[in-house]
Chains A and B, each alone.
Chain A
């Protein structure tokens, strides 16, 4: 059995079973539904944090010094409460995918989230305890992994009760919307009790809360793991590697890392809102969702721009000349299925090396340019991954971002060219052969 066959028949099905599992699917769907908050919310953060003092002062002279405050309110209601909203969305998605009415589960998850958290805040300088308050740090980025765990647990328990039919049943005459709320009573009771016990256990035995424990034991290590040189290489590698087997690598890798990369991005926005600027020294993260969407997936998974470029300018075979023209537009929007399937990257040994290496090298380039201070860490702006390149680079990281994207295009052109030549030569020879056979036949 060849290694490719081995991976395809033994390893990949296991990976896909995991990815397809109810939990990962719910996290993926839930995180997808909060996208408007990060993408649209980010624009308000950017307006509230214009990096130029001159511009700021000029606007302040017209609108007054506190003009940014309403904009920061939008930040406070989107980015800053992302954990809480994810928790709702994940429980909702889980139950929806199980085919039950999902709204009560989302609502219960929010309750569970609050029951297990502290209801006081300690003032940073005086140390004074303020009771009956919600600590925004915990319902925001720091509560992200807790949100996933609570959201999934609530979704799971809720589904379990409904599936076993352990619910209060209403007569048929009761309208469905009313009946659904009664359905939730027994699972709600169980979920609240469980949350209560969890809260009490953590308080009594650990002098902490579930959220704080998860944050320091799981989330911080995970954030550190992704936000590293190795993290970048692993992310870039797996996206390409899975795509090479014909599986949507971007969607799978995103399903696993998006929550963590979003937490990294939220940390950055919080630092930006606090300090007005971002520095690695202050704990700003290098690898955030923008790193992936705007640079690793630039022109499509595998950064296949080089193939399109070569097809347009140097293809000999008719097949690739045609494909070159057909793929310009999708490539502009970072969509490259016509390349992965149509040019033939999937399971094609010739294309394996550049398809894996071009994104890894590009990732290293982006990481290094932030680490050495050439490019600032990514701040508020979050763009959908389909935003056209150069523009996207400029929007997330200024002219440096656009320049780095340009360099990535060059890396892609150089990296793919020799392999493209080989593919084109094969296609060309085949076309010539077909032509001569048809000519022979017609004579």
Chain B
């Protein structure tokens, strides 16, 4: 199972996106565990995830987040603004899975 974690300011709006992503995952039969948290908690979860995504509104924290995630070998990127705004679960799920795959191939 692939563990994906989404981080935004408080974890509220990302949790809406999580629902959409889980719907897509279920339809396509992909085995994932997706959760939303506040990005202040990133460090707490860094050893308990395979992919991390940041909401675009906290994209400014990416550089620091990468420093936290690098030792645990967790890829982290900012969710594209348009997919975030339209709560496009399918696109964001694919975005996360691609990150996971690219990392795995390295």
Residues of A whose CB lies within 8 Å of any CB of B are 16, 19-20, 25, 28-29, 32, 96-97, 99, 243, 246-248, 250-251, 323, 326, 330, 333, 335, 337-344, 346, 386
Which residues in A have their C-beta under 8 angstroms from that of B55? 248, 337
Q: Check B2 for interface membership: any CB of A closer than 8 A.
A: no
New A-B contacts (12) at CB < 8 Å, excluding given A333-B12, A335-B12, A341-B82: A32-B40, A247-B60, A248-B9, A251-B57, A337-B8, A338-B16, A340-B57, A341-B81, A342-B85, A343-B85, A344-B85, A346-B81
Contact B57 A247 (CB under 8 A): yes
Which residues in A have their C-beta under 8 angstroms from that of B86? 323, 338, 341-342
Q: How large is the interface on B (under 10, 10 to 19, 20 to 34, 35 or more residues)?
A: 20 to 34
| Contacting residues of chain B (1-58) with chain A, CB-CB under 8 angstroms | 8-10, 12-13, 16, 38, 40, 43, 55-58
Which residue of B43, B64, B87 contacts A20 across the interface (Cβ within 8 Å)? B64
9 contacts between A and B (CB under 8 A): A25-B40, A97-B43, A248-B9, A248-B57, A335-B12, A338-B86, A340-B85, A342-B84, A342-B86
CA–CA, A248 to B87, complex, Å?
Answer: 17
Mark each residue of chain B from 78 to 105: 1 if its CB lies under 8 Å from any CB of chain A, else 0.
0001101111000000000000000000
Which residues in B have their C-beta under 8 angstroms from that of A250? 9
Q: Check B70 for interface membership: any CB of A closer than 8 A.
A: no
CB distance from A399 to the nearest CB of B (A): 28
CA–CA, A344 to B85, complex, Å?
Answer: 8
CA–CA, A214 to B11, complex, Å?
Answer: 35
CB distance from B68 to the nearest CB of A (A): 8
Contact B60 A337 (CB under 8 A): no
Q: Which A residue's beta carbon lies closest to that of B58?
A: A248
Which residues in A have their C-beta under 8 angstroms from that of B82? 341-342
CB distance from B64 to the nearest CB of A (A): 6
